[in-house]
A and B are shown apart, each in its own frame.
Chain A
Amino acid sequence: MKQSQTADAGHPACSAIAAAQELRPSILIVDDRKENLLATEKVLRPLQANIFKASSGNEALSLLLRHRFAVVLLDVQMPEMDGFETAMLMQEHESMRGVPIIFVTAISKEEKYASQAAEIGAVDYIFKPINSDILKSKVKVYLDLYVQREQILKLNTTLQQSNEELERFAYICSHDMQEPVRMMNSYAGLLEEKCVGSLDEKSEKYLRFIASNAKRMQKMIQDILTFSRVGREEVKIEAVDCNEIVREVLAEFEAVIASKGAMINCADLPFIATSPTLMRVLLQNLIGNALKFQDCVKPPRIEIGARAVGDAWEFSVRDNGIGIDHKFNDRIFTIFQRLHRKEEYPGTGIGLSTCRKFVRLCGGDIQFESELGIGTNFIFTIRSNNKEAA
């Protein structure tokens, strides 16, 4: 076995070198004739790759088991195991299957060999005598592809890790932040109760400020927790009666509905196989927003409906509220983005982003149509494998 570069990544002492050479791709040249190996190596040397050489199919396979290659140059005519047999064995092995093979042959220029080669994973077929410029440029294409793919894979892993870390951070932060906030709220309340009648107006007001802000903080923490739980916790799919969920959500808003004199119309909704939590989060937020973002002049009117579209269900929650300017299309689904002062319309700016994160996780999406002063229609799609889950 001859190697022009040693890159034994398995050895601890070499791991630093291996890391540095990680993105330096490797080429495997397989030929039973030493002079051919040396000639090809000479052609490819300017490409700045690690060049491995094997003089038989067996030797090639053993190198392929231990290293990752960007491309293999495989001689067809070899004693014992020829190039085609070697390629076929490579196809049987998971880790070697995707490695691009360029067959190199002196014998036949017949079409049938070329098509046989294509069937067993060859990406190219070149004939001896080799034109060194053509060989070099062909190999370079595969080296570039390999490096790009490695970079993307690496970036992807890094992104995934940092995403996971962020979510864990949000979860732990919110969880641990709940304790002090609860203490502030509790003791502000207990103090108010203890000192009833003995505090002047200002002191009572200050105590109320402490309590109301602690409550607002608590609401934010709860919303961040819900947001960060989406994707962390397993989504359980059940047969869900959407009418039932709407009833539950409307019951939660009973007081607001009564005080604003809201009219709510709900069509007959389907039974679908989905996450009940997803449906609840969506309907809670959308109905809650429809009730909240109103001009307080006319009573709120809300219409909830659903229709089948292909293998999905499209739900809509339409209101006659203040509407959303279309220039905020993306912003309203971004976490902590609010379009109004909290004194006008209270909220944490987390609800719709939780909705979008959750619905996308479940393979659906959410969008809206709106006209300022007329109203907004939020539409979300839910995939359901068996549309009429019973």
Chain B
Amino acid sequence: MTKPLRVLLVEDNEGDVEMTEHAFRDGKPACAIYVANNGVEALQFLSKQGNCSDAPTPNLILLDLNMPRMDGKQFLDCVKSDPKLKAIPVVMFTSSQSENDIRDCYERHASCYVVKPFDGKVFVETVQQVVRFWSDLGRLPED
């Protein structure tokens, strides 16, 4: 039995946060979800600054693109240029279907790009599938 995944969700939309948390409420797949509302908050969490001093290091990041203060691409650059953080897989989870956004994110070393499904049920299933892939099929570096 693998240890439950620690997932950092970087998302400013309350509705999407609720739906993502809803997806893991029954513990299948088992994971701990931590939420940051934008890139700045997420970096505080990752560097254990401010009121995040006892924050765990996540082993997967789910990242939205359009956010206030620091958007997804800027945040991705920060993570991928930080030696302590760059091994954490980042899954883009956004409503943008723009070819430019997809290319940009992979060029910035995103591990995966998933478009948020329009249908609520499919949304929930998709988030579960993504996390299940990383926890069951994908191998992640040791803590």
The CA-CA distance from A193 to B123 in the complex, in Å, is 14
A186 touches B119 (CB 8 A): yes
From B123, which residue of chain A is reached at the shortest CB distance?
A: A186
CB pair B95–A182 under 8 Å, yes or no, is yes
- Render A175-216 as a binary contact track against B, CB cut-off 8 A, 1 for contact: 110110011011111100100000000000000000000010
Contact of B19 among A178, A179, A190 (CB under 8 A): A190
What chain A residues lie within 8 Å of B74 (beta carbons)? none
Indicate which residue in B16, B96, B118 contacts A218 across the interface (CB closer than 8 Å): B118
Interface size class on chain A is 10 to 19
Instruction: Write out, one digit per residue, whether chain B residues 120-136 have a CB within 8 A of any chain A CB (1) or not (0).
Output: 11011000000000000
CB < 8 Å: which of B13, B100, B119, B121 contacts A179?
Answer: B13
**B116 contacts the other chain (CB 8 A):** yes
B50 in contact (CB, < 8 A): no
CA distance A178 to B96 in the complex (A): 9
- B83: interface (CB < 8 Å): no
Pairwise interchain contact A233-B116, C-beta atoms closer than 8 A: no
Q: How many residues of B contact A (CB 8 A)?
A: 17
Docked Cα-Cα span, A282 to B116, in Å, equals 27
Interface membership of B15, Cβ < 8 A = yes
Contacts of A186 in B (CB 8 A): 15, 19, 118-120, 123
Taking CB atoms, residues of chain A closer than 8 Å to B16 are 183
B99 at the interface (CB under 8 A from A): yes
B22 partner residues in chain A, CB cutoff 8 A: 190
Which chain B residues border A176 with CB–CB below 8 Å?
66
A178 and B95 contacting across the interface, CB-CB below 8 Å = yes
Residues of B near A183 (CB, < 8 A) are: 13, 15-16
Q: How far is the CB of B3 from chain A (nearest CB, A)?
A: 30
**B96 lies within 8 A of A190 (CB):** no
Nearest B residue (CB) for A193: B121
Give the complex CA separation of A218 and B123 in angstroms: 16
CB atoms of A190 and B99 under 8 A apart: no
Does the CB pair B118–A187 fall under 8 Å? no
Q: Provide the B90-121 mask, 1 if CB < 8 A to any CB of A, else 0.
A: 00000110011000000000000000101111
Assuming A186-B15, A189-B120, what are 16 further A-B pairs, CB within 8 angstroms?
A: A175-B96, A179-B13, A179-B95, A182-B95, A183-B15, A185-B118, A185-B120, A186-B119, A186-B123, A187-B15, A190-B19, A190-B22, A215-B118, A218-B118, A233-B99, A233-B100
Residues of B that sit less than 8 Å from A by CB: 13, 15-16, 19, 22, 66, 95-96, 99-100, 116, 118-121, 123-124
5 shortest interchain CB distances as A-B pairs:
A186-B120, A189-B120, A183-B15, A190-B120, A178-B95
